[in-house]
Homo-oligomer: A and B are copies of this chain.
Amino acid sequence: MPRRRTDTRAEIRETALELFAKKGYTATSLREIAEGLGITKAALYYHFRSKQDLLADMVRPMLDDGERTVRELEEEPDATARRALEAFYDMGRRHGTLFRAVVADTAALGDLGDVVPRLFDWRERLLRLIFGSDPTPRQRALAVLAIGGLQDAAIMAADDGGGGLTGDGGDLRSVVVEGALRALDLPAS
């Protein structure tokens, strides 16, 4: 019965994610991950060819999701800036824990090849979606402010479960998306 096969891989990813989020990628040893699962370090090497490979495998869904999100926005003919910012925020929230771990150890991700370029690419394409194909330098600067801030807000929201920050009636997402729109000097559309 090959049932347990993918199971183990998933369990490894889970345990690894917890540890990566808590202590960062580089600071987490394979021995720790293995011990958390009751197997040995070397067993991990059956499932993943390297530590980086494990990370890449964990990051892939997020990368695919982001790619899909941006592409869908581009194909939507009358996508508003608000829609774009909301989609970006939601994407950040969906992968909150991983996103945090990733941002907390950008250096390690440099080795991983295309992750950081990919993040920059999304930013660039969001920028074009919002401001058209030839944004002014001022618009570029505001986009850094807005998208960077939104990313922070999404991570923080994911961390704290989504409650807390806005109180009972408040909707954190719209508060923060509208803030970003104001920063970009755009109407709340």
Which positions 119-164 of chain A face chain B at CB distance < 8 Å? 136-138, 140-142, 144-153, 156, 164
| Interface stretch (choices A5-13, A22-30, A75-83) | A22-30
Q: Mark A60-101, 1 if CB is under 8 A from B, else 0.
A: 000000000000000000000000000000000000000000
Name the segment of A31-39, A43-51, A167-175 touching the other chain. Answer: A167-175
- On chain B, the residues within 8 Å of A148 by CB distance are 148-149, 151-153
B24→A106 contact, CB < 8 A:
yes
Tell whether, in the assembled complex, residue A24 and residue B170 are in contact, meaning their CB atoms are under 8 Å apart. Answer: no
Copies in the complex: 2
A163 to chain B: closest CB distance in Å? Answer: 10
Please give me the residue from chain B that is nearest to A106 by CB atom: B104
Most chain B beta-carbon neighbours within 10 Å: one of A23, A142, A170: A142
Asked if A17 lies at the interface with its beta carbon under 8 angstroms from chain B, I say: no
Minimum CB–CB distance from A140 to chain B (whole Å) comes to 6
